[in-house]
Amino acid sequence: MQQLVSPGTALTILAGVLISGFYIHYMWAALKKAVRTRDDADVGEDTYRRSFFGAVISVVVSAIAIRVYGLGPFLLYLGPIAALLSPIAVTFCLREELVGS
């Protein structure tokens, strides 16, 4: 009988479910905050100074991530790992939006 899922797939599903739980929690909380603060004035200014540095890091890391696929078979799993890191990063952003002033 065919296995429903492989151990690797089961692990990925488990990680995905956990990540999704946090993601939806912070998304919903940030949405409710947006409703509560919808009439507040937007008083901040864009003082972010790491754009260029961040751009360089992003491009270099993405290029390296693709390059390392060619170094060995197990490194192919970096792709799915990266795909799970993305919603984790977004969850962080939603949390920032929630707790930020």
Partner 1 sequence: MNDIQLVSNPALGPLQGILTQVALGLVLLALVFYVKNNLVRSTKDFVIANRKIGFGFGVAGLISIWTWAMAVMMSAAMTYQFGLSGLFWFTVPNGLAVIAVIPFARKIRQQMPNGYTISEFVGARFSGSKLAALVVTVGMLFGSVIEVIINIKGTALVVSSVFGVNPHTAALVGLGVILAYSILGGLWASMSTSTLTTLFITVPSAIVVVAALHQVGGAGPVWDAVSSKGGEWLSVTRADAAGAFGITLALGLLTATIAGQEFWQVAWSLKKKDVSRTFLWAGAWFYPIPICLGILGLIGLALKLDLTTHLGGDAAAVGPYLISHIGLPTWIVIAYVFVILSACYSTIDGAFTAISSVFVVDIIKKVWPNIRERNLLISAKVPMIFAAAVAAAVVVSGADFVTIVLTTYAIRTAILVPLMLSIFWPRMTGAGFVWGTIGGIAIGMPLRSAYGELVGSAAILSISALVPIALGLLSKERFDFESLKQVRDAAVAADSDYPPPAQELPAATSA
Per CB under 8 A, which of residues 8..47 are in contact with partner 1? 8-9, 12-13, 15-16, 19-20, 23-24, 26-27, 30-31, 33-35, 37-47
3-state SS, one letter per residue, for 25-82: HHHHHHHHHHHHCCCCCCCCCCCCCCHHHHHHHHHHHHHHHHHHHHHCHHHHHHHHHH
Closest CA to 96 of 52, 44, 59: 44
Minimum CB separation of residue 40 from partner 1 in Å reads 7
Per CB under 8 A, which of residues 57..96 are in contact with partner 1? 57-59, 61-63, 65-67, 69-70, 72-74, 76-87, 89-90, 93-96
Q: Does 1 interact with partner 1 (rule: CB under 8 A)? A: no
